[in-house]
Amino acid sequence: MKNYAPNTTQYGFHFKAYAENIFTPVIRRQVRDERIQNQGHYTVYLPAYDDPRLIAKLTKFKNVNWDVFSKHNHKPFRTKNVSVQAIHNERFITSMASSEGVLCGAGFETPAEALYMKKKLLVIPMKNQYEQQLNAVALSQMGVPVIKNLDDKFDMVINNWIESNRIINVDYPDMTQVIIDQIIEKHSQIPLIRDIRKSG
């Protein structure tokens, strides 16, 4: 971090407020304003997997309707119980908000929004993505199921997740303006002090 993002003061955002300068996720107003319901489908966003691989895996779970958002295909289509469409922000948020659960990578925004919406969550961290590996550990500690990939050996985990009703309760209040004000208040005098020292 010293070389990647040199700094003198650190602030961060995570799934939990682990320390004084770490805050809970900033949830977009569009997500906060979305109507939350459960229409029974599962929303999927796994850009590391191509459509044939996802379809081959998800169609094995026949009693579930999967709503897949894909970066690999621009024309919507349906195969058995799997619906595939291109990535689209508004449709994705609506799908998540009306889903029973969300299957996605272990990034930050999508898992945080799924938790905020009180949706069942299952994550697959991308290989060789250090941030996603750390996020997966944090989510696992919170009780979110994590699998390494879509290999058959994890089918039981997926099936158990589908059959489970467990929701991870989080509290992500809208603190954006408070955080900004706090940072400005804490550091607004630093340039002034530096100027005084130079003039002295």
Judge whether 179 lies within some domain: no
Domain coverage including residue 168: 28-174
- Which pLDDT score is estimated for 13? 93
Q: Write the pLDDT tens digit of every residue in 20-50.
A: 889 999 999 999 999 999 999 999 999 999 9
Burial class for 87, CB neighbours closer than 10 Å (0-12, 13-18, 19+)? middle
In a domain, 164, yes or no: yes
Mean pLDDT of the chain: 92
Q: pTM value?
A: 0.89
Does 50 or 5 have the greater pLDDT score?
50
pLDDT tens per residue, range 44-87: 999 999 999 999 999 999 999 999 999 988 899 999 999 999 99
**Number of independent structural domains in the chain:** 1
* 8 Å CB contact between 112 and 172: yes
With tokens 């989080």, the residue in question is 170
Alpha carbons within 13 angstroms on the beta-carbon side of residue 196 total: 5
Share above pLDDT 70 across residues of the chain, in percent, rounded to a whole number = 94
pLDDT category at 127 given cuts 50, 70, 90 is: very high
Q: pLDDT, tens digit, for every residue of 84-110?
A: 999 999 999 999 999 999 999 999 999
CA distances from 20 to 8, 10, 78 (A): 16, 10, 47
Question: Is 158 domain-assigned?
Answer: yes
Q: State the pLDDT confidence band at 196, using cuts at 50, 70 and 90.
A: very low
**Better-scored residue on pLDDT, 7 or 149:** 149
Is there a domain that residue 96 lies in?
A: yes
Q: What's the pLDDT score for residue 4?
A: 74
CATH number (domain holding residue 48): 3.40.50.2000
124 within some domain? yes
Q: For residue 41, is it within any domain?
A: yes
Q: Let me know if residue 192 belongs to a domain.
A: no
Of 158, 128, 143, which is closest to residue 44 (Cα–Cα)?
158
Examine residue 6 and state whether it is found in any structural domain, yes or no.
no
Does the CA dihedral 86-129-16-8 come out positive or negative? negative
pLDDT for 150 beyond 90: yes
Of residues 114, 139, 115, the one with CA closest to residue 125: 139
Contact at 8 Å (CB) between 170 and 15?
A: yes
